[in-house]
Amino acid sequence: MSDEIVFYSSPMSRGRIVHWMLEEVGAPYRFEVLSLETKDHKKPSYLAVNPMGKVPAIVHRGTVITESAAILLTVADHFPNARLLPPPAGPARARAYRWLAFMAAEIYPMVEVSDYPERFAPQGDAAEALREKAKERIRERLLIVERFVDGPWFLPSGFSILDIYASMFTRWRGSVGKDWLAAGHIPKLDAIRENVSRRAAIAPVWARHFGG
């Protein structure tokens, strides 16, 4: 069975973090590009891979993995030499799981509410009020995460999947609020973003995603 990872995503989606991860570990992968504009992620061919119709997803050794956090954990397990997780069964590994789960459960879902409030409330004033509440929630949770970052990386043990995962929140200007992010409320997370963007393996892909 081939070790090649089939990576389904859109270059403009939150699947960017999986792209960074695959480059960082040097994984052999094939990028199946999906256009969100033409709703490729809702077509039968992709729904056969991920019935939820969301990106990203990967297929590795016949197993489908969805959800960004689960994909990062899976890739870290399959490429242990990259050392993107602390050693198992120790306090550092437990801390990594804690904060990855916190960001995935407490921040990530609020982004959909902030971006698409009309999915959860009637269009108009109700949807806009919900959007603002979601942004407040994201900001509150980011401030909590900020307090527990060691620096220069999230964990004292060094670069890990937490840095890749946390970096994306600092790029969500529409979801979090451009002015709020620009005001410097999360300097440790901002520094992590800059450090991640300069990593040798990630930098070329980062530049393609964000224009340098």
- The CATH fold assigned to 91-199 is Glutathione S-transferase Yfyf (Class Pi); Chain A, domain 2 (1.20.1050)
For residue 197, pLDDT beyond 70: yes
Give residue 165's Cα distance to chain centre: 4
Could you read off the pLDDT of 65-111 as tens digits, one per residue? 999 999 999 999 999 999 999 999 889 999 999 999 999 999 999 99
What is the residue type of 24? E
| Res. 1 pLDDT band, cuts 50 70 90 | low
Distance CA 137, CA 160 (A): 25
The answer to whether 49 and 55 have CB atoms below 8 angstroms apart is no
- Percentage of the chain beyond pLDDT 90 is 92
> What value does the mean pLDDT take over residues 55-63?
95
DSSP state of 32: E
The second-level CATH assignment, the architecture, of 5-83 is 3-Layer(aba) Sandwich (3.40)
Per the DSSP assignment, residues forming a β-bridge with 30 are 6
Structure tokens at 76: 């870290």
The domain spans of the chain are: 5-83, 91-199
Look at residue 12 in the predicted model and tell me its pLDDT: 80
